Amino acid sequence: MARGDVLRVEFPYPPGGAGREQAGRRPAIAVQTDVTSASLPTLMVVPLTGRLSALRFPHTIQVEPSEVNGLTQPSVLLVFQLRAIDHRRIPGKIGRLEQHYLNQLDEEMRRMLSL
């Protein structure tokens, strides 16, 4: 898996169904560098949702579907839900995020994390 890959991810459901974290099978973007990805049991990802209403939250980016990224509908990157996921929860790759979206994602992560 490489940085910028669009992955199919099995996000765990929170215990007792509490919380607002994304859960279930959904696409996510690998944001960790390729160098560290192979040496760690987890991968940092940003989940996507097909609910465009999520754009009302800060730290979100709309992504249009394409043959390159493999998405089938307009989606929203939920940058504020950045998290580590075990490699075993990633059954496969869907596509690759286009560079202009990856640049927006980098900028939004910098803004969110005050880097």
CA-CA distance, 89 to 35, in Å (whole number)? 20
Domains and CATH numbers, the chain: 5-113 (2.30.30.110)
Question: Quick check: helix, strand or coil at residue 111?
Answer: helix
What per-residue confidence (pLDDT) applies to 18?
Answer: 62
Q: Is it the case that residue 12 has pLDDT exceeding 80?
A: no
Query: Positive or negative, the Cα torsion across 109, 75, 28, 101?
Result: negative
Tokens of 97: 């995020």
CA torsion, ordered 32, 38, 42, 43, to nearest 10 deg: 20
pLDDT in tens, 46-84: 999 999 999 999 999 999 999 999 999 999 999 999 999
Distances from the Cα of 4 to the Cα of 12, 70, 86, angstroms: 22, 12, 17
Q: Is it the case that residue 34 has pLDDT exceeding 80?
A: no
Which residue matches tokens 């929203």?
76
What per-residue confidence (pLDDT) applies to 93?
Answer: 96
The answer to whether 34 and 72 have CB atoms below 8 angstroms apart is no
pLDDT grade, residue 106 (50/70/90)? very high
What per-residue confidence (pLDDT) applies to 48?
Answer: 97
